[in-house]
Structure 1
Amino acid sequence: MTKPIRVWMAPPGPNPWKVVFVLEELQIPYEIVSFKFDDVKKKPFTDLNPNGRVPAIEDPNTDLVLWESGAIIQYLVEQYDTSNTLTYTTLKEKHHVSQWLHFQMSGQGPYWGAAGWFNVLHPEKIPSAIERYNEQVKRVLGVLDGWLEGKQWLVGDKMTYADLAFVPWNDRLDATIMCAPEDKFAGFPNVGAWHERMISRPSWKKCMETRARLMDEQGLMWNGMPKGMASFQEYEAKIAAGEDTSAKE
């Protein structure tokens, strides 16, 4: 019997949910170790991931500790997707799926993260930075939208782990670029339809129910800050000073 894979995460960020989404799709047993963002640079987590970023996994079935969400996803598929539900065995398709995952890791994730920082979290509004990263978001969406023209999925005729990897960042795009939810894919209809196909899946709905519960347990708002915290800078200052960052009623 497969023992549950332990997923270490601070629940606000998108990257852990890429891994959980894949685990749910493949019905691999797992358990979540949820901890506060304050502790990502501290032991015991840095014993698992010296880079202090979530997620990381511990797989008791193979005695493997692994970090970096893309590497984790590829490991899970290689080790546990024995029926190739989320990948291909044919040469071109197999590597094209890997290619799109790398594009998610190098293109979507960093640009969405930077856009979110300058739009929402940075203490000063820097128009040039906001414009740059919002434009990069649109550029990446344009790449995806053009590729998806006439297609249901990124590679071949089925959903793969590459499609799944884009969902958590895309799902919060409206909050990232501060637009109305219905406008986040404006001008990119193929991306919008593709995204809807995936978030309608029971596996995604379960992921978001779990996230909501874990966020509530820590008293967190959507952006990861405790309820009642005025700014990310206040949050970081309290963390640096070793102060209690629990939500204030």
Structure 2
Amino acid sequence: MVLEELGLTYESIYLDFQKGEHKAPEHTKHNPNGRIPTIIDHKNNDYTLWESDAILLYLVERYDPEHKVSVADAGEKFHQLQWLFFQASGQGPYFGQAAWFIRYHSEQLPSAQERYKNEIKRVLGVLESVLSKQEWLVGGKATIADLSFIPWNDIAIPAFTDFDFATEFPATAAWNRKLHGRTSVKKILETRAAVNAA
């Protein structure tokens, strides 16, 4: 999404998780964690980086001098970083554990499922407490801080929750809808749907 926002050219390589391609040497030579995403910047001596939010920070540091999806003010940069840390430490792991225990774990553990469903609500509650007072997380505009939340929101909220998102978290649901209205987000979600359907 950020590559699109910045008008950068790129080639996406999709890995087949069922075949373990993310754990294969061809990928782990770039990303020893064997996860996605990984970026190789051919415009910068094949500079390689992994971890979503590190990649986002790199992209705006190197390719967003006009601050299209980033902030310039020093104080706001730390607030942007704060939200990226919250996404990486709060949303990602908890939403991911909800997915694991609800869909993939070898046995049904209601207590674990309940814990991570509650963590989804807690994370959304933190977002709601801020977004009910302001339109965006930082800088008065959509930034990488906002965009970082989209992938897990799209996976976890519809699939692993049993509450009405728009009713319980109206400001956060409205923010999510506004992000989905962006051309970059629409394009990437359409691409993802096509890849998943193939």
Class of the TM-score when normalised by the shorter of the 2 chains: over 0.9
* 1:16 equivalent in structure 2: none
* 2:186 equivalent in structure 1: 205
Equivalent residue runs for 1:1-249 within 5 Å:
21-37=1-17, 38-63=20-45, 64-179=47-162, 183-217=164-198
Task: Indicate conservation of the 8 Å contact 1:154/1:162, yes or no.
Answer: yes
What secondary structure does 2:44 align onto?
Answer: coil
1:185-219 CA deviation, whole Å, 9 max, x = no partner? 441111101000001112111101111222233xx
Distance 2:73 2:191 in 1: 35
Deviates more, 1:129-138 or 1:115-124: 115-124
Name the structure with the higher helix share: 2
Gaps of 5+ in 2: none
Distance 2:143 2:157 in 1: 24
Distance 2:196 2:174 in 1: 28
Aligned-residue CA RMSD in angstroms?
1.4
The TM-score, its normalising length taken from structure 2, stands at 0.93
Using the TM superposition, give the Cα deviation of residue 47 of structure 1 relative to its aligned residue in structure 2, in angstroms. Answer: 0.8
Using the TM superposition, give the Cα deviation of residue 83 of structure 1 relative to its aligned residue in structure 2, in angstroms. Answer: 0.4
Percent of aligned positions that are identical:
47
Task: Indicate conservation of the 8 Å contact 2:132/2:172, yes or no.
Answer: no
Figure out how many residues of one structure are paired with residues of the other and give that number. Answer: 195
The TM-score, its normalising length taken from structure 1, stands at 0.75
Gaps of 5+ in 1: 1-20, 218-249
Q: Which amino acid aligns with 1:126?
A: L
Task: Indicate conservation of the 8 Å contact 2:128/2:172, yes or no.
Answer: yes
Using the TM superposition, give the Cα deviation of residue 167 of structure 1 relative to its aligned residue in structure 2, in angstroms. Answer: 0.8
1:68-97 CA deviation, whole Å, 9 max, x = no partner? 111111000000001011111111111101
